[in-house]
Amino acid sequence: MKNIISIRDFSGEQIFEEIVPGCLEQVEYVRSVTGNKRKQDIAYDPLVKVTHLFLEKSTRTMSSYVEANDLLGWRRFIVPDKDLTAMGKGESIANTIRMHAIFNTDILVMRSKIEGAQRFVAEILEQEGYEISVQNAGDGTNQHPTQTFLDLLTILMKLGRLDNFKIGFFGDLKYGRTIHSLLCALAHRKNISVVLVSTPETALPAQYKKLFSNITEGDSLELLSDCHVVYGGRVQEERFEDQFELKRAMGKLKLTLAILNSYRKGVLVMHPMPYTFEITPEIRLDKRVILDNQVWCGIPSRIFCLREGYKNKNEKECKNIKAKCKFTTAENKSLDEYFKERSSRKAQKYFKPIRSGTVIDHIARGFAIKIRGFLNSTGNLSSGVKHLIEDVPSKTSEYKDVLVLENIFLEKDICSVIASISPDVTFNVIRDGVFQKIRATTSNLISGIGKCPNPNCITRNDPEAKAKFHRSPTGDELSCHYCEKEFKREEII
């Protein structure tokens, strides 16, 4: 493990058989080195340097990372408030990171409000030959993977197991990144039942809900009465654009002593903190409310993260970040032969054949117009007759669109983008008396097809970050490679 960017990057085996046991091992280490009993450890290497770049507010994550850093005896640089750095003068994230790389950073711990910034940063550092571990200390509403490691360590130490339990989440499930990450990890476990308690304004996004088959949902804290673990989340005021929506979301879900007393005996109440109203002062020091244990678990967990990151910092992890398209020739015949076949076909003919140019066939219904727009914008529709034919009955899918481009031949890069827009297309290329039918197979990572609709995505906030998407198995949804949000194809293209 070199980078820690998203829980989604790890398999269940890695999380539960390597990372959590690794964090647990550090518990003894932390106990032995704190309280004036500091011991030199094998990892001690004073030249190691960690840069802590917190572009969003933080108490626990930053302090525990710094404490972990100090207990390892490593050098550190804590970047001051971003307005006191050149970022306050408009310097980009990419250029800021390059500077810390030049100043000998081995590990970059980074928090940002921009989603996907850490993945972008890890990619450019690797491409430019730096050997640096990038650790995501929270990116906007997306992920907070190291919080998940400490949450799992807390549950393991207090409950004694990481499967067969019922966990209830309450509060802001829409924007609470610690909840998103924890759910992604728990989705790998057996027999985890999940209860979600929120207001409609703060409900969990569908992309996390679909990770579980066993979910109960509602808006009352009573629903949590038989949970082994109850996990609260602050209403993320800073992320609400709509003040009305925010006001409605505020203040509804408060865990009081009376409610807590109605819960399962031995329930464990967790919260990543800070909390505002959702944990009432009367229960703050109740022994069922294990917030302080949870916070402490941040130290061993982050020692593990720093050590692992340093040990593996020269690995290459950001492979396969280039969208690829493969072209295969499915038919190759003389034009006369093609015309003969075509005239004997019973199928209705929707366009007059051309003797030179490209026919883009099997375009998903409704997408020909988008492809034409793309070709226009890239200067590929200069000469010749162009026909756009929509809603043609098709053998393979019910209806298709077709684009006929006389005397126009397209470069491979352009064809890859078209194949990304509509994966089933074929290119019929008619040139010098020869007809070729070419099929394009795109990888699951696609680029060049449009912008990420999320305004907080790094691709909308750093001029060097280009949008890329992963296709869902059905192909209907695309998830952003950086901010990890899922969208319908039409929202992007």
Q: Which residues fall within 8 angstroms of residue 80, CB to CB, at 6 or more apart? A: none
Whichever of 204 and 446 has its CB closer to ligand NCD, that residue is: 204
Can you spell out the DSSP letters for 23-82? HHHHHHHHHHHSSS-----TT--TT-EEEEEESS--SHHHHHHHHHHHHTT-EEEE---G
Whichever of 61 and 454 has its CB closer to ligand NCD, that residue is: 61
Q: Which of residues 254-273 bind ligand NCD (CB under 6 A)?
A: 272-273
Q: Are strands 107-112 and 133-139 parallel, antiparallel or unpaired?
A: parallel
Please say whether the beta carbons of 299 and 129 come within 8 A: no
Q: How far is the CB of 391 from ligand NCD (least distance, A)?
A: 48
Please say whether the beta carbons of 58 and 137 come within 8 A: yes
Whichever of 272 and 309 has its CB closer to ligand NCD, that residue is: 272
Whichever of 275 and 339 has its CB closer to ligand NCD, that residue is: 275
Q: How far is the CB of 181 from ligand NCD (least distance, A)?
A: 9
Q: How far is the CB of 175 from ligand NCD (least distance, A)?
A: 9
Please say whether the beta carbons of 261 and 224 come within 8 A: no
Q: How far is the CB of 54 from ligand NCD (least distance, A)?
A: 10
Q: How far is the CB of 469 from ligand NCD (least distance, A)?
A: 25
Position among 49, 234, 362, 489 found at the interface with ligand NCD (CB under 6 A): 234
The number of CA neighbours under 13 Å toward the Cβ of 76 is: 19
Q: Which of residues 112-141 bind ligand NCD (CB under 6 A)?
A: 138
144 binds ligand NCD, rule: CB under 6 A = yes
Q: How far is the CB of 250 from ligand NCD (least distance, A)?
A: 14
Q: Which residues is 430 bridged to in the sheet?
A: 357, 435
Please say whether the beta carbons of 52 and 62 come within 8 A: yes
Q: Which residues is 393 bridged to in the sheet?
A: 399
For residue 16, give Cα distances in angstroms to 189, 317, 328, 329, 382. 9, 20, 42, 46, 57
The number of angstroms, rounded, from the C-alpha of 82 to the middle of its chain's C-alpha atoms is: 24
Q: How far is the CB of 56 from ligand NCD (least distance, A)?
A: 7
Q: Which of residues 40-99 bind ligand NCD (CB under 6 A)?
A: 60-61
147 binds ligand NCD, rule: CB under 6 A = yes
Q: How far is the CB of 295 from ligand NCD (least distance, A)?
A: 8
Whichever of 141 and 422 has its CB closer to ligand NCD, that residue is: 141
Whichever of 61 and 199 has its CB closer to ligand NCD, that residue is: 61
246 binds ligand NCD, rule: CB under 6 A = no
Q: Which of residues 164-183 bind ligand NCD (CB under 6 A)?
A: 177-178
Whichever of 61 and 118 has its CB closer to ligand NCD, that residue is: 61
Site residue total, ligand NCD (CB under 6 A): 11
Question: CA–CA separation, 144 vs 121, rounded Å?
Answer: 16
Question: CA–CA separation, 171 vs 154, rounded Å?
Answer: 20
Name the residues that contact ligand NCD, by CB under 6 A: 60-61, 138, 144, 147, 177-178, 234, 236, 272-273
